[in-house]
Amino acid sequence: MSEKKPFYITTPIYYPSGNPHIGHCYTTLACDVVARMKRMQGFDVMFLTGTDEHGQKIEKKAQEEGVTPKEYVDVIVENFKKLWSRLGITYDRYIRTTDDYHIESVQKIFKKLYDDGYIYKSSYKGKYCTPCESFWTESQLVDGKCPDCGREVTDAEEEAYFFKLSQFGPRLKELLLDEEKDFLEPKSRVNEMINNFIEPGLQDLCVSRTSFTWGIPVTFDPGHIVYVWVDALSNYITALGYMNETYDDYKKYWPADMHVMAKEIVRFHSLIWPAILMALGEPLPKKIYGHGWITFGAAGGKMSKSAGNVVDPFVLCDRYGVDALRYHLLREMPFGADAPYTNEMMFNRINSDLANDLGNLVSRTVAMAIKYFDGTLPAEKDFNDSDEELLGMASALPAFVSENYESLHISDALAEIFKVISRANKYIDENEPWVLAKDETKKGRLAAVLYNLLDTIRVCTILLSPVMPHVTPEIFKQIGADESCTTWDAASLRHALKADVTVEKGPVLFPRIDTEKELAELDALSPKKDLPSEPLKDVTDFDNFAALDLRAVKVLSCEKVPKSDKLLLFKVDDGFGERQVLSGIAQYYKPEELLGKTLAMIVNLKPRKMMGYESCGMILSVRDGDRFRVVEFDDSIKPGSDIS
């Protein structure tokens, strides 16, 4: 017996700054589909996922919660694992960047890169995005903000180590343009990487920090910790035992067959990660896939619980079934593009594809076999040329589905499967089994029609099993398909069901959903409502607006008002002098977060007293869900500047 061929697939390791939600699910589900299929095809699969647990953002979150960073991430990691278990994710290994073996490997990797001259010490001065843990040059910012997430960046200057990323530009460009290797998919991502990063000139990458402590220490220079992206990216090889003795399958599985991730982190995986591997002298992964995002609402807007968009995947699984959720998310995501999510869209997909088409096909076919043949088809059947269109479509499916699952065109594969399911339903109407049953001379033809339907269902069910692994065994049971004809290879066999197959009536596979009722019930289940937008006020004239004096002010000092949970006391420079103002935003900001900020303020309101303090004006803020954010400007705006 020949040894199984290895196949290595990875998700990114997720950042546990908050609990997982439906937006985390697509990448992991897509990888699970590929992993399940490759196992069915006889491969020795290593499916890796995990969590990226270091960095300044985690440190801050933990401080806010009053716990250690490790205590903070431990709770969230357990929730990730619970979600993957609930969704039926069949990962083989789960890595945490706080694992001792990973820390050991990263320290050795960093030291090797330093010893080999790829890392050097200097000082960093530039822009830093804390949520993305990313450094940027001024030219890379978009409207002065992080080009990845659109948030504010801060000035950063500190002693740091740098990786010589700049010297890898030509090799990376050659890699990305190599049509034979086809390293990065979809092709649009290739153009982004070359035009936005390589052509303008790659800059050396800051790979250590000294301004916070939650990270992997640099062994040869106390006070420095390894920059989170070097730490995180190395997981793909440390999890296999690279530079550690915990595992010993690096040579077996590396290079990875597929790294899969959402588009916002393609830059790190297609530029920084290959450059690190080149510097280490290690093989490069075979494929990088950067898919789109799950967005909320048909227009791609922000999730709104008040609109019925409860997107807790645990709730959705419990109410509608794990496989229904898996199918919907994978069916709706076109390769490389974003896919909107609403509960209503999911209900429509369940009702149309799963209840009406697949579920109805199975129940009708099984019911007719029971009604006309007491559940067991006769061995003698009358096949004819009119069967060929349906059977030909089913025969063409396995090759198409295999190729499209593995290239992450999963939506296309599912659409093709359901074309065959739709054709099978049409085949019933064309052949009218209820008419054939009335003529004793046509029993052989009736048996052939039902057998063709059952065998087509068998083929489709095999190909759907990586996507809907929990319901497909029940379908096999109902249509009388045993293990000998439900392997991946058996999907390519025509008429693999036993000639005298026996069917079995079973439960409804996919109950229809009352959309309006369910939307209302999900809305009632929402544990926390987004605050509604304020209604528009009555129309006023320009003179009333012009009477308000709106100015930019710079925060000179900020402190909490004693005995108040809401108020912050500001001293601001309004361009003409110093003034005092209070604002009820203490639950959203720490005083030190606002020091030195340039904010928007109404400066000509009559003074009023709050908690014994006089407030001369009003700081402007905007409602963002259930919190408020101050309106702020960059440092180029001078105090006293008129806002109009």
Q: What percent of the chain has pLDDT over 90?
A: 69
Output the CA angle 246-250-256, nearest 5 degrees.
130
Question: Distances in Å between the alpha carbon of 38 and those of 32, 41, 552?
Answer: 10, 5, 60
Listed residue (437, 295, 469) closest to 369, CA to CA:
437
Give me the domains of the chain, ranges plus CATH numbers. 6-291 (3.40.50.620), 315-319+337-492 (1.10.730.10), 542-633 (2.40.50.140)
What pLDDT shows up at residue 542? Answer: 58
Average pLDDT, the chain: 90
Q: What is the pLDDT of residues 379-437, one digit of tens each?
A: 999 999 999 999 999 999 999 999 999 999 999 999 999 999 999 999 999 999 999 99
Least confident window among 98-107, 348-357, 552-561, 624-633? 624-633
Q: What is the largest CA-CA distance in the chain?
A: 103
What pLDDT shows up at residue 194? Answer: 95
What pLDDT shows up at residue 534? Answer: 52
User: Residue 109 corresponds to which amino acid?
Assistant: I
Outline where 407-548 has alpha helix (H).
Answer: 410-431, 433-436, 443-464, 472-479, 515-525, 542-546
d(CA 247, CA 238): 8
- Tokens 């996922």: give the residue: 49
- Using CB atoms within 10 Å of the CB of residue 137, give its burial: 0 to 12 exposed, 13 to 18 middle, 19+ buried: exposed
User: Residue 620 corresponds to which amino acid?
Assistant: L
Tokens of residue 372, six digits: 């006309």
- Per-residue pLDDT band for 302 (boundaries 50, 70, 90) equals very low
Structure pTM? 0.79
Beta-sheet pairing, 154-163 with 134-136: unpaired
Close Cβ partners of 473 (under 8 Å, ≥ 6 residues apart): none
- Tokens 């065109």: give the residue: 409
What pLDDT shows up at residue 476? Answer: 98
Q: Is 208 helix (H, G, I), strand (E, B) or coil?
A: strand
Is the pLDDT score of 494 beyond 70?
yes
Compute φ and ψ for 477, nearest 5 degrees.
-65, -45
> Span 609-637, mean pLDDT?
83
d(CA 34, CA 257): 11
Which is higher by pLDDT, 102 or 563? 102
CB-facing half-sphere around the CA of 413: CA atoms within 13 A: 28
What pLDDT shows up at residue 625? Answer: 60
- Highest-confidence segment of 192-206, 285-299, 388-402: 388-402
Is the pLDDT score of 308 beyond 50?
no
What pLDDT shows up at residue 552? Answer: 92
- Per-residue pLDDT band for 536 (boundaries 50, 70, 90) equals low
Tokens of residue 516, six digits: 């309006």
Is the pLDDT score of 303 beyond 50?
no
Q: What is the pLDDT of residues 204-232, one digit of tens each?
A: 999 999 988 999 999 999 999 998 878 99
What pLDDT shows up at residue 300? Answer: 47
Q: What is the pLDDT of residues 427-476, one digit of tens each?
A: 999 999 999 999 999 999 999 999 999 999 999 999 999 999 999 999 99
Is the pLDDT score of 376 beyond 90?
yes
Q: How many residues does the chain have?
A: 644
Tokens of residue 279, six digits: 């510097």
Do residues 361 and 457 touch, judged by C-beta distance below 8 A? Answer: yes
DSSP string, 50-63: EE---SHHHHHHHH
What is the enclosing helix (H) or strand (E) of 14? strand 6-14
Close Cβ partners of 324 (under 8 Å, ≥ 6 residues apart): 346, 350, 354, 510
- Tokens 């604002």: give the residue: 583
